[in-house]
Amino acid sequence: MNLASPPRLFFTPNHYSRLNAVPGTPLMQQASDLVSRMANQFLNDSRIVLDEGSHNWHLLRARQMQVRLMTLLVEWKRTGQVRYFESILADLKRLVEWEYWSWITWRTGNPEPKAIFDLSYGENSATLALVFDALRNDLDEATRSWLVEAACVRALQPYLHVTRETPPGWYRGIHSNWNAVCNGGAGMLALAMGDLCPEAPEVLQRVEYGIRPFFEGLDADGSWPEGVGYWNYGMRYGFMYLLSHETATGQIHPLLELPATAATLRFPLDFSPHNVACGFGDSNGFSPQPFHLAAAQRLGMEEVVAEVMQRFTLKLPLQQSTNWPQEAELLLLALHGASQSDGKPWPTVGLYKELQWGYVADRMPKSNLYVSVRGGSIDAPHTHRDLLSFNCLVGDEKLIENIPVDGYIDTTFSARREELYEVSPLSKNSIFVNGVGIAEKSAASASLIEGEDYTGFYFDATKTMGTMRDGDNAAYCGRAILLLDKRAVLIVDQVELAHAGLMESRLHTFCDIEFRDEDVLVQGRKNRLHISFASTQPALVKRGMGLPTNPKRSPDNIIRHLNTGKIFRMTLCQLLVPNGTGSVALQETATGLQIETSGDVPFKLACGPRLQF
């Protein structure tokens, strides 16, 4: 292999030279101070404290070690003090000598390094790669040889063993964070080792073949079915590898030239205004990471660079991270001067057509009122029974939200996964017919609908309601979610049944709620949401309470809008007005529906049968 001189990976000599710059913003000053404080803390305390009863604690340990090593590395690079260098070597020794790298093999009592190559292997490989690459010229021959041998035995040989004959599903998985983490970590380590490790050329060849579907399989609009949290995880290692490959070889990587690779940098930002995750599925959390900044800089996406930098300022004051070495990476990757926004507004409505997730807002990316909606298929990893559901953000407060998974346990990825409250329809802002919600492995398309002073989405969800003993559970089930005059949200649900039955719409929140005579008030820390109701058949509004799996979590409050007696056809409406009041009236006519709102957002809207707008 013909590779550049080290350091040749994701963090280049130019990045390390930035460590000498004087912090020019409060963000960079806080990052600088926090790195120094953390590095000294790590010098004085070598413990990695975690609960060994927690899910995949070996992976959590790997992340804490990556935080330790990268923080100490940055402090060594900018101070040259030998005590940081010695602590790095001690931590590297610990990492290499861990008996088990994998929680999976630990559970089965198999310490053989070649027994598996999983996420822990991928992250540990990336950590070894970045630290070895940065220190290679500072190591004596004995230490360098020891680390090369350890990397080959603990990482590169297991990678080859696992991927050669019967590769695991992640190896060429299209929509799998495992692909990028495992292939990316192994690839960075092979690049770092180069000619020092005989396995490196074959590892790189196999990594290139394995990681290609991850990026080539991206939808044209860059959407990611595992959601914004897993986007952050998989893309972190995917982009770190591709950027490392370019630096090490001096050649443009073709996967970075794909239009979808650039497009995907916008996806998590569209579903996390104010850094508040409004996506769907297992890991619905988002925080900007420095790799996102580096990828946007490489691809010339200045609007993304500016937005990511501004997202970091929303995190002030910075708090010490245990998952990723964000502060150390910020010092390496972020510009020390003030970040400048291009000032261009982003689209206020978006529909990712392949994924069928959408959003609508009064403005973007700094919304005052924002709603995200969930269509598409739930026959995929990390999905929930959450079709038709939505999140409602007022300012930076999520006042209506799907209830997320709160920590993984053994049943989270088992055959009984969908019995968990947080995965099941019971925790989602969706429709229920005859007491049941979205059926397993179902799908629903979202259609963009626009009219004078309203924009939103329509779902024909008939097939998502499943079947009963003598046919479909619903002859028709439809939902429209509309933003009215960019000041209120209107939910319109309609059901037709072959046999008389029940209908219900639910809203979930962790905020305080007040039930009044004809409406409900959701009170956040700074904002509130006034909700009024209407129906074409007698209905009532009832309070419910969630059943969280995690005993430490407080239950969510549920607003249930449901009929009082069995019906054949029914329409329900909810009007959500932020920081104001309103009411909604609903009338069914021979040609469809007449909907009229009053109060702070007066509005008239007509639609044909089956919500034909």
Residue-wise pLDDT for 326-371, tens only, equals: 999 999 998 765 555 556 789 999 999 999 999 999 999 999 999 9
Q: Which amino acid is at 398?
A: K
Same structural domain for residues 360 and 474? yes
Residue 229 lies in a domain: yes
Higher pLDDT, residue 145 or 22 = 145
CA atoms within 13 A on the CB side of 386: 32
Strand-pairing partners, residue 495, are: 477, 570
Q: What is the pLDDT of residues 390-443, one digit of tens each?
A: 999 999 999 999 999 999 999 999 999 999 999 999 999 999 999 999 999 999
Q: For 369-384, give one letter per residue: b (16+ CB within 10 A) or e.
A: bbbbbbbbebeebbbb
Identify the H or E element spanning 350. strand 349-352
Residue 1's pLDDT band, with cuts at 50, 70 and 90, is confident
Same structural domain for residues 239 and 356? no
Same structural domain for residues 560 and 491? yes
Same structural domain for residues 304 and 438? no
Pairing between strand 467-468 and 471-472? antiparallel
Q: What is the pLDDT of residues 278-301, one digit of tens each?
A: 999 999 999 999 999 999 999 999
Residue after which a domain boundary falls, among 299, 333, 367: 333
Residue 3 lies in a domain: no
Residue after which a domain boundary falls, among 333, 361, 379: 333
Q: What pLDDT is recorded for position 55?
A: 94
Residue 1 lies in a domain: no
**Pairwise CA distance, residues 175 & 156, whole Å:** 24
CA atoms within 13 A on the CB side of 60: 13
DSSP state of 500: E
Residue 341 lies in a domain: no
Higher pLDDT, residue 336 or 265 = 265
CB–CB of 134/70 below 8 Å? Answer: no
CB–CB of 117/187 below 8 Å? Answer: no
Same structural domain for residues 407 and 497? yes
Distances (CA, A) of 480 to 374, 483, 501, 552: 12, 10, 21, 35
Same structural domain for residues 315 and 375? no
Q: What pLDDT is recorded for position 512?
A: 97
CB–CB of 429/454 below 8 Å? Answer: no
Same structural domain for residues 367 and 315? no
Residue 434 lies in a domain: yes
Number of domain units in the chain:
2
CB–CB of 48/61 below 8 Å? Answer: yes
Residue 6 lies in a domain: no
Chain-centroid distance of CA 438 in Å reads 22
Q: Indicate the Cα dihedral angle 386, 392, 396, 398, nearest 10°.
A: -60
Same structural domain for residues 583 and 443? yes
Higher pLDDT, residue 124 or 320 = 124
| Percent of the chain residues past pLDDT 70, beyond the cut | 99
Q: What is the pLDDT of residues 478-494, one digit of tens each?
A: 999 999 999 999 999 99
**DSSP annotation string for 152-177:** IIIIIHHHHHHHHSS--TTTT-SS-H
**DSSP annotation string for 554-607:** PPPEEEEEEESS-EEEEEEEEEEEETS-EEEEEEEETTEEEEEEEESS-EEEEE
Give residue 69's domain range.
13-333
Q: What is the pLDDT of residues 444-457, one digit of tens each?
A: 999 999 999 999 99
**Pairwise CA distance, residues 167 & 175, whole Å:** 16
Same structural domain for residues 376 and 298? no
Residue 322's pLDDT band, with cuts at 50, 70 and 90, is confident
Residue 338 lies in a domain: no
| Mean pLDDT taken over the chain | 95
Same structural domain for residues 362 and 213? no
Handedness of CA 39, 41, 45, 50 (dihedral sign): negative
Residue after which a domain boundary falls, among 283, 308, 333: 333
* Domain CATH for 401: 2.70.98.70
Q: What pLDDT is recorded for position 337?
A: 58
What the block records as the tokens of 166 is 């019967």
DSSP state of 485: T
Same structural domain for residues 355 and 310? no
Same structural domain for residues 309 and 443? no
**Nearest to 127, CA basis, from 71, 171, 45:** 71
pLDDT (mean) for 99-122: 97
**Pairwise CA distance, residues 237 & 395, whole Å:** 32
**DSSP annotation string for 202-246:** HHHHHHHHHHHHHHHTS-TT---TTHHHHHHHHHHHHHHHHHHHH
pTM comes to 0.95
Residue 431 lies in a domain: yes
Q: Which amino acid is at 176?
A: S
**How many CB atoms lie under 10 A from the CB of residue 365?**
22
* Domain CATH for 213: 1.50.10.100
Q: What pLDDT is recorded for position 122?
A: 98
pLDDT (mean) for 252-270: 97
| Percent of the chain residues past pLDDT 90, beyond the cut | 93
What the block records as the tokens of 83 is 């005590």
